[in-house]
Chains A and B, each alone.
Chain A
């Protein structure tokens, strides 16, 4: 059991590569924190520094208010589940579970009892005498978990522990991990690429980009109130649509946007007037918030051309573009494009190349500043609890 604190932690690799850049995170005792972010953003580096497998270039990492910067890994009492499991090939499953206990000089009788308990918990009893090479992927994964929990570590670190399993097994073990962590109450940091794991597993999500923390908070909150365009676009599958727009200054409580020639006006007291936003911004809208409507000039609507349709079971993803035959799409600054994805029930008939109208409700949209760095408006502040610090 332990609380963990990263205080302005950085990691510089020769190059120099700033793999982790001034990260500060407080993790409560017993908390389950999920680390997400694109490949190479420093997730592994961060937890490897906590485990002592990488040195800390700057800042302080502490476990229970004690700095562990200078402790060798064997003295930190962290346990890690590796992506490739790293089971000891020459030992049986029992040997693998016994190894951490032996290193800690646990009395044999106690060790045996502990191993039996963990084997029971993870259903490893029938395979205790097999070598790792004789196990299936899912069994190896469970042995790796068992080896981590058998010695009651202060912290569990898991680096994409399910990424080598097939989808079905992943769903099952995901649920097992959540209940196991709940039962054991051990502080856990879990690295993943998987949207579903990120949203369902943790108490809090920490989104990283290029070595820096973008936002930390409960999954629902990070999803509902992304701190910036990066977080908005990263979470969700597919992520939030981010459409470059020009803001046309207007009357109070009214925002008028220009999207590639289409003009949209929103009226709401939650939305600040255009002059508070600046002339350029990003309009954010989740794929599921785009609802097909009949053309109607009264409400804010987007006219799109259907470019492609992907059917995925009970729903379909429509790839849309704002361009029309009269108004070709203009090249846009930065990495944002006017490509839009909408999630639509498969009962709606979609035809490639045809035009379609989507209604935009004022409380389904997000406005980000032009560089994507900050959210300009917070019209949901009244609906969601305040952000934890």
Chain B
């Protein structure tokens, strides 16, 4: 075998492996998107066949149906509002907490950090019920607030910020202090602009977590007026007739905003890492 031939083989095997992995990842998504375009009855009957990917007929009927059966706009608005609040307030609160833990000279800092770590491993389901009683007792049920406030401070976000700030060169802040900026100003004008990658990461992670929130809104809300998207998609299963096409169409509509967020913030990872101005 010549060198070029061997390279060709190697290339082919590499493509094959990559192709298989990609298929495994993308297939469910494709199934969902294609399924959402097919008549309800065809979705399950054609599931194992080639028609699952190459449909015989295509229409947007499911989308209009789904939007008619539940007030999609309302649910989307609720989810968007709740998530936006969680992410934006969360970035502010968790970034400051992470910075304080990483840099400020505070008594009891080590204990606070240990507590954050401890909270990180407690599953939310384990505290959902006591939290339900507590928040019901103060009359917060059936509101946006109850779906936002408990999720603003997030141990994972704090930890991500903490470790990023810990590794940021200290001299950057010291230079800013000497140049005349106080602690707060230094944080806003020097730290934050250089922390884009971690802000992007935390945005994506917390959006992913809270966009799919199901158990908590199910416990705390009864009115459709404040309920988020995941509860709406669940209602398709309980409202007969069960129409798979509609469910998949709704799924597509629910995932789309997440993809947009991901694509927008993903670019920040790259630019953030590339423009370190320190001597390296």
Contacts and interface: CB of A to CB of B under 8 A. Distances in A.
B171 A86 contact: yes
A132 to B, nearest CB: 3
Interface in B111-166: none
A88 interface: yes
B174 interface: yes
B275 A84 contact: no
A104 B194 CA distance: 22
Contacts of B20: none
A84 B178 contact: no
B275 A137 contact: no
A111 interface: no
A80 B275 contact: no
Contacts of A53: 174, 177-178
Contacts of B182: 72, 74
Interface string A79-102: 110101111111000000001100
Given A84-B169, A86-B174, A88-B172, A103 B277 contact: no
Contacts of B276: 89, 133
A311 B11 CA distance: 55
Q: Which of B169, B177, B178, B189 has the most CB of A within 10 A?
A: B178
A42 to B, nearest CB: 18
Interface string B159-196: 00000000001011011111111100100011001100
B278 interface: yes
- Judged by DSSP, the binding face of B is helix
A301 interface: no
A51 B175 CA distance: 10
Contacts of A99: 176, 179, 181, 189
A380 B171 CA distance: 45
Contacts of B279: 84-85, 137, 140, 164
B277 A74 contact: no
Contacts of A52: 177-178
B106 interface: no
Interface size class of B (residues with CB under 8 A): 20 to 34
A82 B170 CA distance: 11
A147 interface: yes
A241 interface: no
B260 interface: no
A88 B190 contact: yes
Contacts of A51: 174, 178
Contact of B181 (A74, A131, A147): A74
B278 A85 contact: yes
A104 B180 contact: yes
A67 to B, nearest CB: 19
B277 A87 contact: yes
Contacts of B278: 84-87, 89, 132
A88 B190 CA distance: 7
Interface string A45-79: 00000011100000000000000000011101011
B21 interface: no
Contacts of A100: 179-180
Q: Which of A53, A74, A78, A86 has the most CB of B within 10 A?
A: A86
Q: Which of A51, A72, A89 has the most CB of B within 10 A?
A: A89
Contacts of B41: none
B25 interface: no
A147 B277 CA distance: 14
Interface of B: 169, 171-172, 174-182, 185, 189-190, 193-194, 274-279
Closest 9 CB pairs of A and B: A89-B277, A132-B277, A103-B180, A86-B171, A100-B179, A86-B175, A90-B193, A73-B177, A84-B279
24 contacts: A51-B178, A53-B177, A72-B182, A73-B177, A73-B178, A80-B174, A80-B178, A84-B279, A85-B279, A87-B175, A87-B277, A88-B172, A88-B175, A88-B277, A89-B275, A90-B275, A99-B179, A99-B181, A103-B185, A131-B277, A132-B277, A133-B277, A140-B279, A151-B180
Interface of A: 51-53, 72-74, 76, 78-80, 82, 84-90, 99-100, 103-104, 131-133, 137, 140, 147, 151, 164
Given A89-B194, A89-B275, 9 more contacts: A51-B178, A74-B179, A79-B178, A84-B278, A85-B279, A90-B193, A133-B275, A147-B179, A151-B179
